Structure 1
Amino acid sequence: MDQEDLQSFSRRRVEFRLCNVSGYTNELLEIHSDNPSLHVLFIPGNPGIISFYKDFVESLYQLLGGRVSITAIGHICQTNKDWEGGRLFSLQEQIDHKIEFVKQELQNKEIPLLLVGHSIGSPISIELCRWFPDRVVYCIGLYPFMMVNRQSRWQLLIEKLAGSPLLSTLFSSFAALLGVLPVRASSFVVKKTIGKSWSRTASEAACSHLLKYHTMRNVLYMAKTEFEKLSETPDWKFMKKASEKLSFLFCKDDHWAPMHVFEEICKQVPEVDVSVEREEGHKHAFCCSEAGSLHIAQYVASLIKNHLSD
């Protein structure tokens, strides 16, 4: 690749697009390669506000040398506008939506599909592997939320909040009240509470999307159905069958993807590629800082390059 080509792809920035799939509107981030050897589909965690991952997507594209197209798809009704009129969507409905998205938008079967999922996006990606075994060549789960962690007080609190329609409504209403404040005021609140060390990208995503009633209600409702689904035993049989296509990254002190889940995966599916983040300071919500976004982009790019070289 000559210097002119290098400058061309390195200047390329992610594009935002609204996409209608099965009658539902969702938000996408996209960077298209002129001659892609691979298409990466990224599935977020919950919140599934895709603009949180802008820095990660752009870093990943640059690290892969502009040879790979990337699409990052958000969750239904976790969007800037309430396109669905207040409807609530479960985990299964979000999974079904991603399946239909692949069928509708990623029709070029000549280009291999590689999945990257964060948190609850990891089991969603595994379901896509199940649906598209001939298309998906690899699946990377970042800090995967695979099983309910009964040892986590934070998960217990969220489960109770998400499981109560009254508490969910009150909490979402409070978030919406913060969202109607002037931008400087809402940004100040975010910075002083949940976003003390967040990047500008993450703070802007929180103010523009998370502090909306419809978004927060859907975040909590999806969480409710996640706790219900992930209380069940994972499908170890399928994971064993697809083990050559799977890779997971864990980190210490992560209550969403704790070390006992790492150990269980190693026990049940010893063939799968499982790693533990050794560097200090990198956490589950990697997309909320520029350093975290770059670090995980480097990790994913390394896996992809190794896979393509096989």
Structure 2
Amino acid sequence: MQSSSAEVTMMESQNRKRAPAWTEREVRDLIAVWGEESVLSELHSSFRNAKTFVKISQGMKDRGHNRDPKQCRVKLKELRQAYQKTREANSRSGSEPQTCRFYDELHAILGGSATTTPAVLFDSFNGDGGNTEAGFGDEEDDDEEEVVDSSQQASGETSFPDSQELFLTLDLEPVPPEPTQGCLLDPAGGEGTSESTRPGSEEQIPLYEEFIYCCGAATQVLKCGPWKDLLETESKTLPGLLFLIIPGNPGLAGYYRTFIRALYHGLNGQYPVWVVSHAGHCKPPSGMGMTEDTDIKELEDVFGLHGQIEHKLDFLRKNVPKDMKLVLIGHSIGCYITLEMMKRASELQVLRSVLLFPTIERMAQSPQGKLLTPVLCKLRYILYMPVYLLSFLPERVKTSMVRFVLRGLKCPDEASIVTSLNLFSVDCVANVLYMASQEMMKVVERDSTTIKQNLKKLIFYYGVADNWCPQQYFEEIKMDFPDGDIRLCEKGIRHAFVLDASREMAAMITDWVQDILTRL
């Protein structure tokens, strides 16, 4: 028996009400589809554009998401309204600057460049042009409120699993954002000491993503907190401390998205928390190359291990005030880089360095190093062709492959799943493997001199079953530095903690640094 028209309508309405929250990955992909020239052209030129939203829905399916045309239209309208609200707030004289989730991406579509606004397109989205809201004012508006999208409450991180074992400092046993899509207005300054600037939940935390050239190499930076540019921030609102994360390898900033959000939340929003990727450990956006086309001579080997150290120092020189106090948090090979930074630039105002699962000695002799050194140093080139071929697969197939690899994790961090898709880029993988090969050859002797000179500033955190820095290394450094703050994990956290223990690690670090925070 066929269902009546009324029954079908009721079922569709119930399905819309049960629509799952939009993940960050979905929203970013939706904006990307929306920003395609052909889609914008259709929305701008047609009042009745149901077919265009079918096209957008299909574009989402091609990227591995299941969103019907109605859901896409309503979500795009929400994003547009949030952008308009932010623009209007910023246009009022005397008001503090504000932003919203995905503001830069939305501004590229709705607002043009930073100094000019394409009036026709922007007006059309306001309903003043020939096309009401560029296609958002069609006949479906009447039932728009039927769609109950739990993402309207800014539900949180998206998903991209850390490939916990695809490479190097991530574990090799089988297992598997960015800002939330809610477009909540972000607080605009200060140290977060007032209740109004303290994040109510992790999902409300402002997070900015930038792709820049540093030492001539493409670099991704994620910034938690309202301070987008510390060099331009007025002294009265300048934070007293910056937490900077130096990643492991692969050094993709996205793996630490959940971690920096949780850490910022644990710090009550009082201090910015940034993570800077390794040089070339990213997939640059369209129009940006892996290296900068310039006549200026940069580092000859910026993608190598020692080039990565200079890369981080150069980032600090160009983006952080000289007198800014720092808490450096290194992970895996990031710990080696952190110690080298403190050695090479003693003028840095480092109050504390937290070294998580530190690969600071005898990497090639570690259990994992013995297995991978021959591959990384002699056979890594044969991996490039499979990666190149896999790069042509649809996004949904790549995502399924990543989830399969990480299937052993009970609660994989979705942000790391999304980030792992960058490892289907040959350029990115080549930089990851090249740096890894140098780690095997150059990380040999522990730098006990630098450790001794900075012992009171250092916290070491070793894993019990870590195949990159085994417990033997912990016991030996503990014996050599009995007065040092050298800890052994008793919680079973894996070397690649970003896969499933970011919040737990952030909570511990928040507790560890309370002594320096009380002295500020």
TM-score normalised over the length of structure 1: 0.90
Separation in 2, partners of 1:245, 1:3? 31
Contact 1:88 1:218 in 2 (8 A): no
Give the corresponding residue for 2:465. 253
Matched-pair contact (CA < 8 Å) for 2:364–2:440: no
Tell whether the 8 Å contact from 2:213 to 2:291 is kept in structure 1 after alignment.
Answer: no
| 1:33–1:68 contact (8 Å) kept in structure 2 | no
For the pair 1:306 / 2:515, whether they are aligned, the reply is yes
Which residue type is aligned with residue 495 of structure 2?
H
Question: Which string of whole-angstrom CA distances, capped at 9 and with x for unpartnered residues, describes residues 124-183 of structure 1?
Answer: 11112123334111111001111225664432222111101xx21221321232232111
Tell me which amino acid in the other structure corresponds to 1:263: E
Q: Deviations over 1:72-131 (max 9, x none)?
A: 00011111135129x87210010111111111111241x311100000000111112123
Q: Is residue 2:342 matched to residue 1:126? A: no
Which residue among 215, 219, 226 is the counterpart of 2:432? Answer: 219
Q: Distance in 2 between matches of 1:273 and 1:71?
A: 24
Provide the C-alpha distance between the structure 2 equivalents of 1:7 and 1:212, rounded to a whole number of angstroms.
35
Partner of 1:130, secondary structure, is: helix
> In 2, Cα distance between the equivalents of 1:129 and 1:105?
17
Equivalent runs, 1:191-270 vs 2, <5 Å:
191-194=403-406, 196-197=408-409, 198-207=412-421, 209-231=422-444, 233-270=445-482
* Preserved contact between residue 42 and residue 116 of structure 1 (Cα < 8 Å): yes
Identity over the aligned pairs, expressed in percent?
25
CA distance in 1, matches of 2:246, 2:197: 29
Aligned counterpart for 1:147 among listed residues 339, 354, 361: 361
Moved more, 89-98 or 150-159: 150-159
Q: Secondary structure at the match of 1:297?
A: helix
1:99 partnered with 2:291? no
Q: Residue by residue, what CA displacement relative to the aligned partner does 1:237-295 show, whole Å, maximum 9, x if unpaired?
A: 22111101111111111011211111121122222211111113x21111112xx0001
Report the 3-state secondary structure (helix = DSSP H, G, I; strand = E; otherwise coil) of the residue aligned with 2:198.
helix
Q: Aligned in 2, Cα 1:95/1:2: closer, same or farther, shift over 3 Å?
A: closer
Question: Who is 2:291 aligned against?
Answer: 84
- Number of paired residues? 301
Superposed CA RMSD: 2.1
Structure 1 residue runs of 5 or longer lacking an equivalent are: none
- 1:185 equivalent in structure 2: 397
Instruction: Kindly indicate whether residue 503 of structure 2 is the aligned counterpart of residue 294 of structure 1.
Output: yes
Larger Rg: 2
Partner of 1:24: 217
How many Å separate the matches in 2 of 1:218 and 1:175? 13
Aligned residue type for 2:399: S
Highest RCO, 1 vs 2 (Cα 8 Å, sep ≥ 6): 1
Residues 215 and 302 in structure 2, CA contact (< 8 A), matched pair in contact too: no
Q: For 1:274, which of 477, 486, 509 is the aligned residue? A: 486
Give the aligned partner of residue 240 of structure 2: 37
Distance of aligned partners of 1:19 and 1:83 in 2 relative to their CA distance in 1, 3 Å threshold: same
CA contact (8 A) 1:47 1:219 kept: yes
* Aligned position for 1:114: 327
Q: Conserved in 1, the CA contact under 8 Å of 2:214 and 2:314? A: yes
Question: What is the letter of the counterpart of residue 147 of structure 1?
Answer: E
The aligned residue for residue 255 of structure 2 is 52
Q: Give the alignment's TM-score, normalised by structure 2.
A: 0.55
1:156 aligned residue (370, 377, 383)? 370
Distance 1:8 1:296 in 2: 20
- Aligned equivalents of 1:195, 1:128: Cα separation in 2: 36
Using a 3 Å threshold, how does the CA distance of structure 1 residues 150 and 46 change in structure 2: closer, same or farther? closer
Unaligned runs of 5+ in 2: 1-192, 228-236, 293-300
What is the CA-CA distance between 1:12 and the residue it aligns to? 2.0
Q: Name the amino acid aligned to 1:57.
A: I
